[in-house]
A and B are shown apart, each in its own frame.
Chain A
Amino acid sequence: MRFKASIHNITTFTKLTASLNSLGPLAWVKLSDEHVCFTIIPEQGTQVWAVLSIDSIFETYTVQSAAGNVINLEVPLTSLTRALKSALNATSAQLRLTKKDSAPLLALTIAVANAPNAHAAFPATAANNDDGFDAPFDSAFGSGNRETIVTQEIPVRVLAPDTVAGLHEPQCREPDVHIILPPLLQLKSISDRFTKLAMAGVKSGAATAPSRTRLEVAANMHGCLRLSIKTDAMSISSVWTDLNNPELDPSQVTGIAEHPSTRMKQLGTADGRSDEGWASVRIDGRDWGKVMSVGRLGGRVIACECECALCFCHDHALILYVYLPSDNGEDESVLTYYVSSYSA
């Protein structure tokens, strides 16, 4: 069983593991020739099934095993995230599967270039020397062996193929409504605010009752998304309009004419005032806040903005697809969140 890869996109990888970590402490990582899959199945709350193209995070990637070159690992996300964070300023980072005292572990080897003797020469300005402006002279004429090597060892468990054979991605019927989400930070801050309002004035013991923090998320096929919370004392909702309902691809979906979303298109209006045409689900506000944590992958650069689509099965399920852009534009990476929903 061998796995070795160098990481070429440390920032993305770190943000990915950090956002997955907010949903659960352990990830099932499946390494194969085609994809890298991260799956989080917490005891309760939202499941994530992420399928990443190999070149979205790795380069020079080799995986070999007796089970058809597939390796299944159970990885503690907190340790992995912590290890990856220490690689953010690295010149190179390599991840490989190895063993120490018969315990399997993922070894992350990081090379960090350090400006030679920068601290000794300019003690007073040591903190400003990280920009490396005075480094080129030494690296050009110096020994060239100035890198500091950091090794982080992350304990893992190897999962047998039988163990993972019973894990299946949830199945859902065709969605009633699908819609592209507004900027996630906006959505996150509003849903966080709603959840906070729902919990205000409640003793911390009672606040854990999930019935209080149920958010209702609804959307129609005319570009409207509505987030609302209702208690006996109040009812608040925020409505977004002019969002995009992506067209279904005829090559992927058969029978568009009978598709539930086609029927939903007949109902409702684009200003979101009509009561008709909404598909809605009830979700836990705190769980939703954890899901929204994926927004960090989008970053601030517009070109890298990840696209998030939400699929509604009325009163039944909510599925969030997060598409990550890839360099070659072919192999898309998709994170699928199966958001746990509650009946009314």
Chain B
Amino acid sequence: MVVLNFTLTPEAAAKVHDLLVCLGKFSDTVAIEARRKSFTFTALNSSKSAYAAVGLDAKQFFTSYECIPSHGGPEGRFTCSMYMKALLSVFKGRLYDPLGRDGAIDRCEVTVQDRADQTECRFIVRMVCNQGVIKTYKLTYEAVDVMHALFDLNVAKNRWSMHAAAMKEYVEYFGTKTEMLDIFAGEEGRAVFKSYTEKITNGHEILKHPLVTAVAVNTSDFEDFNVQTGLHIIISVKDFKAIVLHADTLKTSLKAYYSRPTRPLQLSYGSDGLLCKFTLMTSGDYNASTASTPAPQVLSRQASRAESASNERPENGNTGSEMPPPNEPASRRSARRRNPGSKKPSSPRRERPDSETLFVQQDDEDSRWEPLDYNNEEETLGWDASAEHDAAVFPTFRDTARGSQIGTEDSVEALAPTQRISQIKGLW
């Protein structure tokens, strides 16, 4: 018997869409954890190398928020897991539109139906649209225990922060298909972001090697830059891109915290009651040139345990089975990262490099000159689709009568004008 009801403004619903798109780049499922004062979306990727948590503040983010977990008292929680696709088809893009065009909503009401006396447990979303239309979505969910990655800010002495819009500009230089991102605090006041691939290729294959891109940024361009000189830290470039793109939608600053390679790195940002924290696995010195890595390992391990106890333990027995993935031995994780086969992209969706750009750029003008893609379905002429002899893409009234017409003279007339007479014979 859980009570969970909340209402979102269109702006907030649009932000939920944006954050789901971002989390969708990490995992196919999203976990939800509702507490009395906060609501959290979490996602963990399949190789458990990246963990994302987006916390929404009950007072700031929601118009109204009520959560009474069935047990656990003030620290109790309601947790469940849902398919990202299902949620994204509810929280579509363009929920917020000041001009009130197609798809815009007036408000979004969410309730969870989870009672012993009801036959169905559902996550119910009601999109109240502008013309009095109410769209109600009833989503299934799976009761799961939500796990949290633990991160000890006290040990993460290396920190920097930069406005997401600036960081997005740098990320756009990176070539497609690269895998790794090396963040290097160089000398002479420069930080180097280098995207590359570790794949070893030889012979003719070498020309298929993706671009290696290094962006050297003045540390004075950071809002804050406090990193041990000479430190390399390596994360997945795909994760970093996803995070930067989302941070840019919030027009906020991106902050990074890390201690040393093989220990987790945290990227965080937030505004208006929304706080995103991404805990990413890192791997070691990519060229092993710096021997000056500090070794506060024992300390960090204990501190992170201690924090985990203070933050997460006071929960009730049946929800306390948290197994924080980052506590896995660091050596094992870094070994896994070096093996390219184990790090599969969690989402098959290919991200277009400039898909977020609203404004027409030079590329678009240029695209007119691209050779035409004749296999594009939408480009084909289709005034009489029934002439297609495999199932027609556009059903027409002729489809129903086709069975009786086959073999008669009439059907010849239904051919598209470009059909060669010589080819027709073979079809019957």
Q: Which residues of A contact B (CB under 8 A)?
A: 11, 15, 18-19, 22, 26, 74-76, 79, 82-83, 85-86, 88, 103, 105, 114, 116-120, 123-124, 126-127, 143, 145-157, 185, 188, 192, 195-204, 206-207, 212, 231-234, 286, 289-290, 292-296
Chain B window 143-171, contacts with chain A (Cβ cutoff 8 Å), 1 for yes, 0 for no: 00000000000000000000101100110
Contact (A26, B418) CB under 8 Å given A119-B165, A150-B173, A151-B213: no
Q: How far is the CA of A114 from the CA of B387 in the complex (A)?
A: 57
Decide yes or no whether B363 CB sits under 8 A from chain A: yes
Contact A18 B366 (CB under 8 A): yes
Contact B374 A199 (CB under 8 A): yes
Contact B165 A188 (CB under 8 A): no
Contact B368 A197 (CB under 8 A): no
Q: Which residues of B contact A (CB under 8 A)?
A: 163, 165-166, 169-170, 172-173, 175-176, 190, 204, 206-218, 220-221, 223, 251-253, 362-363, 366, 368-372, 374-375, 379-382, 387-390, 415-423
Contact (A202, B418) CB under 8 Å given A119-B166, A126-B165, A150-B214: yes
* Chain B, Cβ-Cβ closest to A23: B371
Min distance, Cβ A297 to any Cβ of chain B, angstroms: 9
Contact A150 B213 (CB under 8 A): yes
Residues of A within 8 A of B418 (CB): 197-202, 231, 233-234
Contact B381 A196 (CB under 8 A): yes
Contact B374 A207 (CB under 8 A): yes
Min distance, Cβ A185 to any Cβ of chain B, angstroms: 7
Contact B163 A126 (CB under 8 A): yes
Residues of A within 8 A of B220 (CB): 116, 143, 146
Contact B375 A123 (CB under 8 A): no
| Contacting residue for A157 out of B170, B207, B382, CB 8 A | B207
Can you pick out 16 interface pairs between chain A and chain B where the beta carbons lie within 8 Å of each other? A22-B371, A83-B211, A86-B173, A119-B163, A123-B252, A124-B251, A152-B175, A152-B212, A154-B211, A157-B204, A200-B382, A201-B381, A202-B419, A231-B418, A234-B417, A293-B370
Q: How far is the CA of A278 from the CA of B409 in the complex (A)?
A: 40
Contact A151 B370 (CB under 8 A): no
Q: How far is the CA of A213 from the CA of B204 in the complex (A)?
A: 33
Contact B372 A192 (CB under 8 A): yes
Contact A188 B369 (CB under 8 A): yes
Contact B369 A292 (CB under 8 A): yes
Q: How far is the CA of A95 from the CA of B420 in the complex (A)?
A: 53
Contact A150 B175 (CB under 8 A): no
Q: How far is the CA of A147 from the CA of B221 in the complex (A)?
A: 10
| Contacting residue for B371 out of A88, A120, A206, A286, CB 8 A | A286
Residues of A within 8 A of B375 (CB): 204, 207
Contact B207 A76 (CB under 8 A): yes
| Contacting residue for B381 out of A116, A200, A207, CB 8 A | A200
| Contacting residue for B163 out of A82, A120, A195, A233, CB 8 A | A120
Contact A26 B207 (CB under 8 A): yes
Contact B366 A233 (CB under 8 A): no
Residues of A within 8 A of B251 (CB): 123-124, 126
Q: How far is the CA of A119 from the CA of B166 in the complex (A)?
A: 6
Contact B175 A151 (CB under 8 A): no
Q: How far is the CA of A150 from the CA of B174 in the complex (A)?
A: 10
